[in-house]
Amino acid sequence: MLDVCLLGTGGMMPLPYRWLTSCMMRYNGSNLLIDSGEGTQIAIRDKGWSVNPIDVILFTHFHADHISGLPGLLLAMANAERKDPVLLVGPKGLERVVTNLRVIAPDLPFELRFHELSGEMEDLEVKDFRIRAFRVRHNVTCYGYRVRIDRNGRFDAARAKELEIPLKYWNPLQKGQTIEDNGRILTPDMVLGAPRKGLQVTYCTDTRPTDSIREAAKGSDLFICEGMYGDEDKISDAKKKKHMMMQEAATLAAEAEVGEMWLTHFSPSVSYPENYAPVINRIFPRTCFVKDGHSADLLFEDEEET
Segment near a copy of itself (CB under 8 A); pick from 61-69, 154-162, 225-233, 240-248: 61-69
With residue 174 as reference, give the H or E element that holds it: helix 170-174
The Cβ-side half-sphere exposure at 245, using a 13 Å CA radius, reads: 18
Binding of a copy of itself at residue 79 (CB under 8 A)?
yes
Task: Check: CB of residue 290 under 8 Å from CB of residue 4.
Answer: no
DSSP, res 216: H
Among 104, 158, 167, 194, indicate the residue that binds a copy of itself (CB under 8 A): 104
Among 75, 108, 126, 283, indicate the residue that binds a copy of itself (CB under 8 A): 75
Q: Which of 46, 55, 65, 128 is catalytic?
A: 65
Q: Would you call 231 a catalytic residue per the annotation?
A: no
What residues pair up with 131 in beta bridges, in sequence order? Answer: 124, 147
Task: Check: CB of residue 136 under 8 Å from CB of residue 204.
Answer: yes
Cα of 2 vs its chain's centroid, Å:
11
Q: Pick from 263, 270, 262, 271: which is nearest to 237 by CA?
A: 270
Q: Which is nearer to a copy of itself, 116 or 122 (CB)?
A: 116
Closest CB 42 distance from a copy of itself, rounded Å = 5
Closest CB 96 distance from a copy of itself, rounded Å = 7
Binding of a copy of itself at residue 96 (CB under 8 A)?
yes
Among 68, 202, 212, 247, indicate the residue that binds a copy of itself (CB under 8 A): 68
Closest CB 196 distance from a copy of itself, rounded Å = 39
Binding of a copy of itself at residue 105 (CB under 8 A)?
yes
CA pseudo-torsion sign 91, 198, 25, 175: negative
- Can you tell me the distance from the alpha carbon of 264 to that of 287, in angstroms, rounded to the nearest whole number? 11
DSSP, res 49: -
Task: Check: CB of residue 226 under 8 Å from CB of residue 263.
Answer: yes
- Can you tell me the distance from the alpha carbon of 263 to that of 253, in angstroms, rounded to the nearest whole number? 10
Site string for a copy of itself, 8-27 (x = CB under 8 A): ----xxxxx-----------
SS3 218: coil
Q: Which is nearer to a copy of itself, 153 or 293 (CB)?
A: 293
Binding of a copy of itself at residue 42 (CB under 8 A)?
yes
Residues 6+ apart with CB under 8 A from 233: none
Site string for a copy of itself, 248-267 (x = CB under 8 A): --------------------
Binding of a copy of itself at residue 45 (CB under 8 A)?
yes
> What does the binding site for a copy of itself look like in residue numbers (CB under 8 A)?
12-16, 37-39, 41-42, 45-46, 62-65, 67-69, 71-72, 75-76, 79, 96-97, 100-101, 103-105
Residues marked as catalytic = 65
